[in-house]
Amino acid sequence: MEFHECLNKIMKEKGVNQAQLCKLSGIATSAMSHYVRGETEPSFSKVIAISRALGVSVDVLAGRSGGDNPSRNEAELVDSFRRCTVFQQNAILHTAKAVSEDETLVPTFFAITDADGNHLTAAYLATLKDGDIGRNTLTIKLGDQLFGAE
């Protein structure tokens, strides 16, 4: 795959237009236009600037490494997930698995603090069918105790 084809593919995957890429990379609009159309090849320093702006390796940008190019949402999700506690990560992982297996599930999370200052974490899964809420599951964790209702 030619450089400009890889560039256009990654820009599309990342949801970045040419003007945004120029701003992010510091490359002039006219030069970027030539790169995008395949009229000229950028210098190595420009390739590095473009790869950094798009959040991909130079190899991916040059078409030498397919790999999965995560979308902005995926990258943001991974970054947010890494900042969570282990308990939060497990709750997110279990919810994501459930939701990915049943497209009618709609997850909602909320935190509650009782009168003694204890933190309760609640996860609520509602099943939507034809716009109506069907089966509902409520799970509340207080310390190490788990309470659930369906």
DSSP string for residues in 103-150: TTEEEEEEEEE-TT--EEEEEEEEEEETTEEEEEEEEEEETTEEEEE-
User: For 65-77, what is each residue's pLDDT tens digit?
Assistant: 655 556 667 778 8
Same domain, 52 and 105: no
Give the range of the structural domain holding residue 142, as residue numbers without chain letter. 85-149
Taking only the tens place, the pLDDT of each residue in 18-74 is 999 999 999 999 999 999 999 999 999 999 999 989 988 888 888 876 555 566 677
Domain boundary among 45, 72, 99: 72
Domain count, the chain: 2
Please tell me whether residues 47 and 97 are part of one structural domain.
Answer: no
The neighbouring-strand residues paired with 148 are 139
Same domain, 67 and 89: no
Q: Are residues 66 and 100 in the same domain?
A: no
**Same structural domain, 95 and 59:** no
pLDDT at 67: 53
Per-residue confidence (pLDDT) for residue 143, from 0 to 100: 53
Q: Which of 16, 38, 72 is the last residue of a domain?
A: 72
CATH number of the domain within which 35 lies: 1.10.260.40
CB atoms within 10 A of CB 10: 20
Question: Per the domain annotation, does 129 fall within a domain?
Answer: yes
Residue 134 lies in a domain: yes
What is the average pLDDT across 74-101?
79
Q: Is residue 141 located within the same domain as residue 97?
A: yes
